[in-house]
Structure 1
Amino acid sequence: MTVEARDDPAPTRAQQRRERERAAARESILSAARELARSEGWDAVTMRRLAERIDYSANFAYRYFTGRDDILLALVRDGFTRLRETMDTASKQPMSGSATRASGTDVAAIRRAAHAYLDFALTEPDLYQLMYGLGGVRVPAADTWVEGQAVGDVLTGLLAAAGDRQPEQHVLQLWATAHGLIALLAVGRVDVDSAALHALLEDALTDCLTRALPTPAASPRRGTRSTGKRQL
């Protein structure tokens, strides 16, 4: 006589409520960490300071995270997930104008995804610095390798769809440009506005796509370039 396998029972209302409460508590802690880092830097994010900020006992955060490093890891993983989603969404936006050729659409998607990467870093500089170890606090890259790789996979897939035979190599070149611009801005080595950064990235995209793709589309200018000052 055999016992038939049974599906796991559906969670009860009480279990669902506890799970919602747990998710809300975790998010309140993560939100407090982001706000504290934004105002005082990542070094200020400690379990004690977080408890003070959310007005709970010092042990409250330990119910949901093993410690500060666990909180930072959760923030980095969430950051990479949101960055990937932002780039993916941007790449799928309807193409403006009358261009209908597949190659033109593919190239426009690549450009939108690359500029979305830069916009994310400019909009959330504190989180971006934590994700890439620019803020003096590091989360081991091996712990978020899968999430970080997924960001690069967005551009890799778009380049491959457009006919690039070496998409991984060209993603590395584009990432080095975008990340390099952001890093120089973060440490105060360049004094440029966001329009100038996007213009520099656009030039790099045009150079890369000219080499990488059979018939890349011409660069659509995003506006007047702001020269700015550079400090090398």
Structure 2
Amino acid sequence: MSPLPRFHRLPAERREAILAVAREQFAAHGPETASYNKIIEAAGFSKTAAYQYFDGRDDLLAAVLEDVRERLLGVLGPWGPADGPDDFWARLRAGTGALGAHLAAHPDDLALAERAVRVSGGGPWTAWFDALVRDGRRLGVVRTTVDHSLLVAATEAVLRAADGWALEKLRAGDHEVEDEQVWALLAGLWGGEGP
């Protein structure tokens, strides 16, 4: 599911405004219960016009979740080669810190983050984890005695579990997540020393 081609022909500002209104509504009322009619009314267009851009509520939700995923990946940024083990850990900390700060500052993204990542089916996230593990192996931070794809999947699972844990803390208003536990888990998985 994705928006109809006509949606992509709208000016970027209008597309962003529609997605922002929908994101706010889905975050406030839940992806399962937010009203499509209230969303399109708040976005400032008629039901007839809405069906020129989306096949329906599920189509709009899919567009919102894709937008949230892209926003989160944009904050995290692509993983590029680190200069050494210290730089590797510093960049990993900085990226996850930036992501946490973004989620704390954007409650709509926070409310939809877990669903946006889950719905994406891994794709862009798995590519990010693959680049992370490859770079860690190159630097000697990540063991080479375990199959690469298994280690990518295990790293992704550990970091997704840590993300879920951190998201719950953020939702509860605790913006001081103790990430040392996460780094210790990764260091143990990767067979090396943490930061």
Q: State TM-score, norm by structure 1.
A: 0.61
Distance (Å, rounded) in 1 between the aligned partners of 2:11 and 2:91: 38
Is the 2:129–2:155 Cα contact (8 Å) retained in structure 1?
no
Q: CA deviation at 1:68?
A: 1.1
Structure 1 residue 29: Cα displacement: 1.8
Are the equivalent residues in 2 in contact too, given 1:79–1:128 (CA < 8 A)?
A: no
In 2, are the aligned partners of 1:103 and 1:215 still within 8 Å (CA)? no
Equivalent residue, structure 1, for 2:94: 112
Structure 2: runs of 5 or more not aligned: 1-6
> How many aligned residue pairs are there?
180
Three-state SS of the structure 2 residue aligned to 1:194 is coil
Who wins on radius of gyration, i.e. which is larger?
1
Rounded to whole Å, the distance in 1 between the matches of 2:110 and 2:124 is 14
Q: Kindly state the Cα deviation for residue 194 of structure 1 after the two structures are TM-superposed.
A: 0.9
Q: Which residue of 1 aligns with 2:183?
A: 205
Structure having the larger proportion of residues in helix: 2
3-state DSSP of counterpart to 1:66? coil
1:160 paired residue number: 137
Query: Which of the numbers 56, 66, 72 marks the counterpart of 1:83?
Result: 72
The alignment yields a C-alpha RMSD, in angstroms, of 3.4
Unaligned runs of 5+ in 1: 1-17, 96-100, 134-138, 218-232
Q: C-alpha separation between the residues in 1 aligned to 2:164 and 2:70?
A: 17
Q: Which amino acid aligns with 2:111?
A: Q
Relative to 1, partners in 2 of residues 1:215 and 1:102: Cα closer, same or farther, differing over 3 Å?
same
Partner Cα separation in structure 1 for residue 135 and residue 107 of structure 2: 26
User: Does the 8 Å CA contact 1:114/1:155 hold for their aligned counterparts?
Assistant: no
Partner of 1:146: 123
Distance in 2 (alpha carbons) for counterparts of 1:48 and 1:214: 53
Matched, 1:49 2:38: yes
Q: Distance in 2 between matches of 1:142 and 1:21?
A: 25
Other-structure match for 2:175: 194
SS in structure 1 opposite 2:48?
A: coil
Distance change >3 Å, CA 216–CA 57, structure 1 → 2: closer
Decide whether the 8 Å contact of 2:110 with 2:167 is kept in 1. no
| Equivalent residue for 1:174, pick from 156, 159, 162 | 159
Q: More relative contact order in 1 or in 2 (CA 8 Å, sep 6+)?
A: 2
How far apart in 2 are the matches of 1:153 and 1:85? Answer: 17
In the alignment, what sits opposite 1:27?
16
**1: CA distance, partners of 2:185 / 2:119:** 32
Q: How high is the TM-score relative to the length of structure 2?
A: 0.70
Per-residue Cα deviation, 1:53-110 (whole angstroms, up to 9, x for no partner):
1332222221111111111111212222222222226x67xx9xxxxx7221122122
CA–CA separation in structure 2 for the residues paired with 1:108 and 1:129: 27
Answer whether contact 2:31 2:61 (CA < 8 A) is retained.
no
Structure 2 residue matching 1:33: 3-state secondary structure = helix
Q: 1 CA distance for matches of 2:168 and 2:65?
A: 17
